[in-house]
Amino acid sequence: MSRSSNCEGVSRRDCLRLGLSTLIGGGLIDALRLRGQAEALMPTSSRPTSCILVWMDGGPTHYETFDPKPEAPAEIRGEYDPIATAIPGVHFSRHMTELAKIADRLAIVRSIQHNQGNHGAGNHYMMTGAPTRIPVGCGAFVSFHPSLGSVTAYERGPTGGLPPYFSIPRMSRSGGPNFLGAKYAPFEVPDDPNRDSFRVRDVSPPRELDLGRFDHRRDLRAQLDRLERIDHDAAGDPVRSLDEYYEQGYTLMASKDAQRAFDIHSEPDSIRDLYGRTSFGQRCLLARRLVEAGVPFITLYEGGWDHHVEIFNALDKKLPPFDRALAALILDLEQRGLLDSTLVVALGEFGRTPKINNRGGRDHWSNAMSVMFAGCRTPGGQVVGATDPRGYAANERILSPENFASTVYLKLGIDPDKIYYTPQGRPAHLVSDPTPIAELMG
Amino acid sequence: MRRSLLSVLALAMVGASAPPEVAGSAASDLSIVPDEIHLTGSSARQQLVVTGNADGRTVDLSALVSFRSENPSVVSVDEHGVARPEGDGNTVIVAVLDGEEARASVTVTGMSIARPVTFERDVMPLLTRLGCNSGPCHGKQRGQNGFQLSLLGFDPTFDHNALTKEARGRRVFPAAPEQSLTLLKATASLPHGGGKRIEPDSEEYRILRDWIASGMPRDPEGSPTVVGLDIWPPERSLAAGDQQRAIVTARYSDGSTADVTHLAAFQSNESAVVAVDDSGLIRAGDRPGEAAISARFEGHFATCSVTIPLEGEVPASLYDDLPRSNVIDGLVWAKLRKLGLTPSPETDDSTFLRRAYLDAIGRLPSLEETRAFLDDPSPEKRASLVDRLLERPEYADYWATKWMDLLRPNPYRVGIKAVWNLDAWIRRAFRENMPYDEFVRTIVTAQGSTFSEGPSTIFRDRREPEELTTMVSQLFLGIRLECAKCHHHPFEVWGQDDFYGFAAYFAEVGRKGTGLSPPISGGEEVIFASGKGAVSHPLTGERMEPAPLFGEAPDPDDDPRRALASWMTDPDNPYFARVIANRVWADLMGVGLVMPVDDLRATNPPTNPELLDALADEFVQSGFDLKHLIRTIMTSRVYALDSLPNDRNVADVRNYARHYRKRLPAEVLIDAICDVTGIPEEYDAAAPGTRATQIWTHRVPSTFLDTFGRPDANQDPPCERTPDTSVTQVLHLMNAPSLHAKITHEDGLAARLAASDRPPSAIVEELYLLLYCRRPTEEERSVALAVFDEPGVDRRRACEDLLWALLNSAEFLFID
């Protein structure tokens, strides 16, 4: 039990569970009742669902990805021509060739908008489904609400010794657990899986140690770790939770499934090539391996989308390998029968300005953004909503970050209308508007 | 609903949980509360409670007695002990149990004057009590299904409109009140997301119906308002399973009082220990402890403190004979005596040494320091150790780091130089042991360039009066005003007037120079008193004058912040010294007298109010000397108790009957690993040899520090670091290549010991002294020595494996 106990002998986590529901009448009743409603929307497949969230940090342009505007004036439509996709009448931008071919598996939402035009706030809104409580600036790393991944970790727990939430290579600005506590922070994999020397950090003994020596150390530790534990639960001895984590750690290290998932080097070259031999490509592949091993939430953090200058030069290099890796991920999941239980989403904090600026770039623009969905029984081959002919703003089927977050939660079997209580007893709606994007719910 | 609940509880009392002495004739001294009742007007009422003595303590017998009115045409009384007026006159209510009687005199007046049911006085409390305007229901930001009330009823006009005018008036239907949507929904006659909240035959229903029928009147102008709330009993000691009914009385501005038990909302701050139900029935849990039961009505609070002593007798001499090193000990022993807890014994020298070093200066003692202390026969050695530690340079870095968590902004937002300056200023303040009042005054009134005056950086980071208000009030007063910015906190007295009056002190802060330009933001700004600027109330638009939260503040001069700082740091301000005393106490003792440490309010009382008062007094008397405060705590006997429980304190986690373990904080742990292995860590943007407690910003990359929960510089303040452990942490400790490199380093401890000519037993002893500050037991020695004898294991490998095993043990990772 954790030392951060704040009900006598009841850990912070237990408090969250109990919901401190005596504070405000009806909270628990509401939560129970609404769970009944939410269950009707939740997936019924036997395999637990997973989510791979591709975070395009900086705010990807909607024009040059999923929402080209060929009819707009040159200073808006930019340098790229649209290309046809597998959905008749729907076009993507020039470099999205591989995703265009499999557009029948994709649902593109073109009409999510919000009002947070800087990175800190936009990231928070899309990563948590809640706007920031106070205005925050561009450089801000803020956390007022738990992220999609941390909530999933909290709700779903670890499987087979594997942490339930990975963020690869690192956590995004608001990707943390906030009031849920450190236990639900993402497990980061900072090293580059495209390198021959790649290993997932800390999940196996240092290379120089053979396994026999590790086992020897482990035995030695068991004999020498003699600080007396306080067995009585009410004492809340934090050392006992340390013991629990060492057991979990040993389980993870000994789990063949987990270690196999981490061993990207065992993947056939043909598959590794399919994703492209890039850091992002191999991270997509690692995500697929983690999904196979049962991890419910993986964020793939891909920086470099903040194209204030020379956007076309930058995207000429950035988009083709990105497009290829993402398409390979979706196809690979499909071929392995995992796509029905795996949601793949790709998004950033907002879209980008219609007019190319005088430095050849586009700036932040939260009036319109495109979000890609695939898998987890999302009906493919559709575009939801639309922006105006010049791409200034969503003008059809206008949707919010709350709708986005609710969709992801429901696909993961989590009721977005839940109420959490912070350790101080403040009620916090998981998502204030629990309405999912109906077209995606299948 | 209340009826069914009560009868169940009454049955429970008669049954298993009621001691026979209570139900039987041994109960004596029957008394009734209140014993004098004045009921004015037909809507008045009075809850009665009957108590008696059993087993030497006061017990609530209300559920067992029978009530009777001697003149039912003057007053009626129901089986729950609720008296209601029937006609003007005087009479007596009698409670009878086993032939014994208790009598309350009753006067009823004003029955001929009908008081109308009005919105503020009658309906709003109901909406709050029934949870209608709570955060999860219609009080949430967008309301629920189109019906929105102000959160916890902070805006009566808004709520009156929402009920009477919105939804095309369907919510109320004066012509046929029963058909009002409000009543149909609340009784679940129509589908209601919140389910059935009231019964059609309930008093709540009657009030709402009568109010609608009479045309939804608001309170007339100048109506009496609530000025205070009292709860009876104010304190009570219960046995496990006991029940006690509370009576809540409101005091009005016209001097009248009224029983509002049925309208108050109740809350326990420790519901696992003592629970309270909607009707105010307090129920002790099945294990010893204590709790504060708060009643809330119309933004006012009253608190009843309940204790459940541990069963069994402890001889008074045990407490009398306990040692008292200073003011702390007597107050802790008094509290333990009240709860029937006994303290653990004093801990041994090794544990004390390690605890004192880590708590006072955030580092482990060296081998020589440990040996010297353990071998020192002086009876005064603990106190003189504390004195020595407080003079060490590491003291400043370690305690400054705690304030960095709370004060130091993100350099990517406000610029490297500005943050560096602030960091340097805080460290200097701790090196010089700047009096704490001066420290806070300097921060709150900071002026000058962010390139030369460190504290002004705080005003570069927090640019709006509102942001400064939440930060300053929470950090330095332990008052959480953030909720009050938008609504009355459910268990807090502060409202928007308080918030914006406080914010007005910051309205005139001026800034010249280059503003924020993240992510570099390298410009210089000068903070000054501009003489212009205003803060206005969000509801009324009224320009707010600076006003302290309570008491009197000096008149603002050309920099209103000076008046604020002077009011805040006044020795008579009850919050200022208490919140810092509580913070320091929590840092050293593992848990605050108030938790969370910066949340001081009537509804969250300290576990030992006398102790917090004494610490605060001592601190003020010393001239706000932090070292004196730390020394006082660390030289108390309470600080020196062992962490292992006895059978009379095992469940204690708030009263300091034993010492509470805590994990080494991130910086202290990595510094300890570096010190022990002899291999330092290297940090970006820091000189070689920099220790983790000396890093100038939490943004300096470190996987280790992130993993072990250092704060994120830009979270909503104040940023508490996480003391939790996690699986990521233990995987890192076991397997991280960087830690492996320290263990196996050519210049490291293991290599050095292996290369020495010392025998294995000396090596083992050195490892134990370094990591645990003690010598190994015989058994440990033999386990460790066996490693050297294993086939194929050389000395180097034996040393490394032992070092790894000890680094990964609880005794190293925790302050015991």
Please give the domain boundaries of chain B with CATH numbers for all domains: 1-114 (2.60.40.1080), 119-213 (no CATH), 231-309 (2.60.40.1080), 327-394+576-656 (no CATH), 395-570 (no CATH), 663-815 (no CATH)
* Contact predicate A122/A59, CB 8 Å: yes
Mutation choice for B interface testing from A4, A18, A24 by most B CBs within 10 A: A24
| Across B686-709, average pLDDT | 91
Q: Predicted confidence band at B269 (pLDDT cuts at 50, 70, 90)?
A: confident
Check B727 against A10: CB less than 8 A apart. no
Q: Do B135 and A24 touch (CB under 8 A)?
A: yes
Burial class of residue B70 (count of CB atoms within 10 Å of its CB; 0-12, 13-18, 19+): middle
Whether residue A357 is contained in a domain is answered as: yes
User: A421 lies in a domain?
Assistant: no
Q: Which residue is closest to B152 within chain A, CA to CA? A: A24
Question: Does residue A118 register a pLDDT over 90?
Answer: no
Per-residue pLDDT tens over the stretch B208-238: 999 999 999 998 888 888 899 999 999 999 9
Using the predicted structure, report yes or no on whether residue A21 has a pLDDT greater than 60.
no
**Which residues of chain A neighbour B813 with C-beta distances below 8 Å?**
242
In tens, the pLDDT along B739-769 reads: 999 999 999 999 999 999 999 999 999 999 9
| Domain membership flag for residue A144 | yes
More confident residue, A274 or B483: A274
Q: Do A7 and B660 touch (CB under 8 A)?
A: no
Which two structure tokens, joined as six digits, stand for B117?
A: 């049911």
Burial category of B16 from C-beta neighbours within 10 Å (exposed 0-12, middle 13-18, buried 19 and up): exposed
Percent residues over pLDDT 90 in chain B: 68
- Gyration radius of chain B's alpha carbons: 32
Residue spans of beta strands (DSSP E) within B362-508: 448-449
Mutate to test the interface with B, among A142, A168, A207, A246 (most CBs of B within 10 A): A246
Q: Is residue A237 part of a domain?
A: no
Q: For position A62, what pLDDT does the model report?
A: 97
Of the partner residues B650, B806, B813, the one whose CB lies closest to the CB of residue A235 = B650
- Out of A369-373, A382-386, B139-143, least confident range: B139-143
Q: Give B728's contacts in chain A (Cβ within 8 Å).
A: 163, 185, 187, 202
Q: Which of B413, B661, B813 sits opposite A139 (nearest CB)?
A: B413
pLDDT of residue B153: 80
Q: Measured between alpha carbons, how far is B485 from B538 in angstroms, rounded to an integer?
A: 9
- Write down the mean pLDDT value for chain B: 90
Residue A206: list chain B partners with CB under 8 A.
735-737, 740
What is the model's pLDDT at position A34? Answer: 42
Minimal Cα–Cα distance from B147 to chain A, Å?
Answer: 14
CB-CB neighbors (< 8 A) of A32 in chain B: none
List chain A residues with CB under 8 Å of B601. none
CA of B741: which chain A residue's CA is closest? A206
Whether A204 is in a domain gets the answer no
CA separation for the pair B814, A246 (Å, rounded): 15
Q: Closest approach of chain A CAs to the CA of B482, in angstroms?
A: 10
Selected for mutation to probe chain B from A203, A226, A250 (highest B CB count within 10 Å) is A226
Which residues, 6+ apart, have CB-to-CB distance to B92 below 8 Å? Answer: B69, B70, B71, B103, B104, B105, B106
Answer yes or no: do B272 and A181 touch at CB < 8 A.
Answer: no
Looking at residue B405, its pLDDT comes to 86
Pairing of strands B36-40, B100-109: parallel
- Amino acid B494: pLDDT: 85
Ranges B182-186, B666-670, B717-721, most confident: B666-670
Residue A31 pLDDT? 38
User: Residue A32: what pLDDT?
Assistant: 36
Nearest CA-CA distance, residue B18 and chain A, Å = 25
- Nearest-by-Cβ selection for A245 from B596, B661, B730: B730
Q: Which residues on chain B are in Cβ contact (under 8 Å) with A205?
A: 734-735
pLDDT band at A421 (very low <50, low <70, confident <90, very high): confident
Tell me what the mean pLDDT of segment A83-95 comes to: 96
Nearest CA in chain A to B466: A134
Residues of A in contact with B744 (CB under 8 A): 208
pLDDT in tens, B142-166: 777 788 888 878 788 889 999 998 8
Whether residues A245 and B737 touch (CB distance < 8 A) is answered with no
- Which residues of chain B lie closer than 8 angstroms to A216, CB-CB? 801
Residue B135: list chain A partners with CB under 8 A.
24, 426-427
Highest-scoring range by mean pLDDT, A189-203, A323-337, B31-45: A323-337
* Test mutation, A159, A180, A221, A224, chain B, max B CBs within 10 A: A224
- At B7, the pLDDT band (50, 70, 90 cuts) reads very low
Max avg pLDDT among B280-289, B614-623, B785-794 = B614-623
pLDDT in the model for residue B419: 95
pLDDT bracket for residue B714 (50, 70, 90):
very low
Measured in angstroms, the CA of A274 and the nearest CA of chain B are apart by 31
Q: What is the ipTM of this complex?
A: 0.84
**Residue B25 pLDDT exceeds 50:** no
Q: Quick one: what percent of chain A has pLDDT higher than 70?
A: 87
The structural domain count of chain A equals 1
What own/partner pairs with CB < 8 Å and gap ≥ 24 does B619-622 have?
A: B619/B436, B619/B577, B619/B580, B619/B581, B620/B571, B620/B577
Residue contacts between A and B (CB atoms, under 8 Å): 249
Asked if A59 contacts A364 with a C-beta cutoff of 8 angstroms, the reply is yes
Q: Does residue A2 surpass a pLDDT of 50?
A: no
- CB-closest option in A185, A238, A426 to B663: A238
Q: Report the CATH number at residue A287.
A: 3.40.720.10
- Closest listed residue to residue B123, CA positions, set B206, B223, B224: B206
Q: Which of A163, A242, A424 sits opposite B596 (nearest CB)?
A: A424
Q: Which of A111-125, A326-340, B384-398 has the lowest mean pLDDT?
A: A111-125
**Chain B residues near residue A223 by CB distance under 8 angstroms:** 783
Residue A138 has pLDDT above 70, yes or no: no
Domain limits for position A140: 48-195+257-416+427-440
Where residue B716 falls among pLDDT bands split at 50, 70, 90?
very low
CB contact under 8 A, A432 and B141: yes
Q: Which residues of A fall within a CB distance of 8 Å from B467?
A: 134
Mean predicted confidence (pLDDT) in B672-677: 98
pLDDT value of residue A233: 81
Asked if B783 and A224 come within 8 Å (Cβ–Cβ), the reply is yes
Tell me whether residues B801 and A216 touch, CB distance under 8 A: yes
SS3 A48: coil
* Domain assignment of residue A154, yes or no: yes
| Identity of the residue in B270, B595, B805 whose CB atom sits nearest the CB atom of A217 | B805
Q: What is the pLDDT of residue B3?
A: 34
Check B810 against A239: CB less than 8 A apart: yes
Q: Greater confidence, A426 or B295? A: B295
User: What's the pLDDT at B272?
Assistant: 76
Closest chain B residue by Cα to residue A420: B136
Q: pTM higher than 0.90 for the full model?
A: no
Tens of pLDDT along B555-602?
999 999 999 999 999 999 999 999 999 999 999 999 999 988 888 988
Confidence grade of residue B715 (pLDDT, cut at 50, 70, 90): very low
- pLDDT higher for A38 or A53? A53
* A34 falls within a domain: no
Let me know if residue A71 belongs to a domain.
yes
